[in-house]
């Protein structure tokens, strides 16, 4: 087995060599928000525009057919990456948010009725809360929530109680973007299936960081984004089981999602194009495929193992800082996310001071306001790690945080 060579990996990412000010190199610890891009992804998109720019699915000329082939090849790569049976079970969207909205506005509108129970969790990103709140208001649905324990884990006993009430849908994050908690998705999906519920998993934080197989999980829907997995912004994916996608009405109307149009009616296209209206972000989809190739070249198991080492080191070293409290510190299974607070110091002040030292972290509620309310705080600071971060960067973070504490004391 080849040793994990982080220095070699870092050379693949042009942006990691910049200085944020003279003599101050970038330390990027905000990959949970968006990951940096390797040169091969940037080059793949550039090559498309330079040599293959044509509209997909609609032309028979050389460029159109070449663009279509590249676009559909990326779909096949993404499908294989998550273990889907068929490429047509992968719908390209703008991001994980749109993927979840697609399910809410098509499957949800078609198959959920007044009084139906939808089970969510207290740790959800707003993208997996607001679409269901909107639909619940429209259709008079009932929303209930799996509570989060003090350790930062989902209370499975509460989950069992909701399952006893016969939910139609269970939707939850595979990994929390705030706590870093990796939820027991396979077991939760199996329970939901026995209760007769459809499942949707927000994989925005899991698919980029460790091996995920939708077939092994037996999940009905999974949403994720390219930009969090070293791919471009503006493109994501929805995985859905073929039998569910077939029954769902189209999401948007327009070109390419139709087979036949009359003045007063239309016949929708077959999967996956039924859900991909209009000219899509072709270059970005091709970049998505290149990102999958890149991650595969390193190996998802290797990435997961390396991140685990990083986050364990970070947890130990950050706990030496007086007063620092880590959200969900005791979760049994966690990914490369550490959200924390410092007494008497606002997270935005922490982030601004760290930025002066070249360190990029996130401060705020991280699109998870109810979770912060649960922990009795309005905001937190968040450092997140990915395949290109180093032990030296963790040391720099800890030293800089010590300076922040000293400055405010």
**Annotated active-site positions, please?**
367
ω into 272 cis (within 30 of 0):
yes
Strand partners, 170: 119, 199
Distance CA 31, CA 362 (A): 9
Identify the H or E element spanning 98.
helix 96-103
- State the DSSP H helix or E strand holding residue 325, giving kind and residue range, or none if neither: strand 325-326
Q: Which of 183, 159, 158, 161 is nearest to 173 (CA)?
A: 183
Task: Round the CA-based radius of gyration of the chain to a whole number and report it.
Answer: 22
> How far is it, in rounded angstroms, from Cα 336 to Cα 35?
13
Least Cα distance to 343 among 409, 253, 278 occurs for 409
Contact 271, 90 (CB under 8 A): no
| DSSP code at position 226 | S
Calpha distance 391→405 (Å, rounded) = 21
To the nearest 10°, the Cα dihedral for 191, 304, 32, 75? -80
404 φ, ψ to 5°? -60, -45
Query: What does the alpha-carbon distance between residue 223 and residue 268 come to, in Å, rounded to a whole number?
Result: 23
**Rounded CA separation 8/306 (Å):** 14
Give DSSP secondary structure letters for 248-268. SPPSS-STTSEEEE-SS-EEE
Q: Is 352 helix (H, G, I), strand (E, B) or coil?
A: helix
- Extract the runs of DSSP E, i.e. beta strands, from 264-307: 266-268
């Amino acid at each position: 087995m080849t040793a994990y060579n982080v220095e070699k990996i870092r050379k693949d990412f042009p942006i990691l060599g910049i200085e944020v000010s003279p003599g101050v190199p970038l330390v990027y610890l905000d990959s949970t928000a968006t990951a940096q891009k390797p040169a091969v992804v940037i080059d793949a998109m550039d090559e498309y525009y330079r040599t293959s720019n044509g509209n997909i699915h609609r032309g028979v000329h050389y460029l159109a057919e070449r663009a279509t082939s590249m676009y559909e090849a990326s779909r096949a790569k993404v499908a294989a990456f998550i273990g889907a049976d068929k490429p047509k079970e992968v719908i390209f969207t703008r991001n994980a948010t749109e993927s979840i909205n697609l399910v809410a506005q098509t499957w949800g509108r078609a198959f959920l009725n007044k009084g139906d129970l939808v089970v969510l969790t207290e740790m959800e990103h707003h993208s997996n809360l607001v679409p269901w709140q909107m639909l619940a208001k429209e259709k008079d649905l009932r929303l209930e929530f799996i509570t989060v324990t003090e350790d930062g884990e989902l209370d499975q006993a509460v989950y069992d109680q909701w399952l006893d009430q016969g939910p139609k849908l269970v939707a939850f994050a595979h990994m929390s973007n705030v706590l870093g908690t990796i939820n027991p998705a396979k077991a939760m999906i199996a329970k939901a299936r026995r209760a007769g519920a459809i499942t949707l998993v927000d994989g925005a934080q899991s698919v980029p960081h460790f091996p995920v197989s939708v077939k092994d999980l037996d999940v009905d829907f999974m949403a994720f984004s390219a930009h969090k997995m070293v791919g471009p912004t503006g493109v994501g994916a929805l995985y859905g089981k073929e039998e569910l996608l077939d029954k769902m009405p189209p999401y948007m109307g327009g070109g390419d999602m139709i087979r036949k149009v009359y003045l007063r009616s239309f016949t929708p296209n077959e999967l996956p194009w039924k859900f991909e209206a209009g000219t899509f972000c072709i270059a970005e989809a091709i970049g998505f495929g290149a990102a999958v190739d890149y991650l595969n070249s390193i190996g998802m198991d290797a990435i997961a193992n390396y991140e685990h080492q990083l986050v364990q080191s970070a947890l130990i070293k950050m706990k030496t800082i007086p007063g620092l409290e880590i959200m969900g510190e005791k979760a049994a299974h966690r990914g490369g996310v550490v959200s924390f607070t410092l007494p008497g110091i606002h997270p935005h002040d922490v982030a601004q001071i760290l930025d002066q030292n070249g360190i990029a972290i996130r401060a705020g509620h991280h699109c998870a306001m109810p979770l912060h309310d649960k922990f009795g705080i309005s905001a937190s600071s968040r450092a997140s790690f990915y395949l290109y971060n180093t032990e030296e960067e963790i040391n720099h973070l800890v030293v800089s945080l010590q300076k922040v504490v000293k400055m405010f004391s």
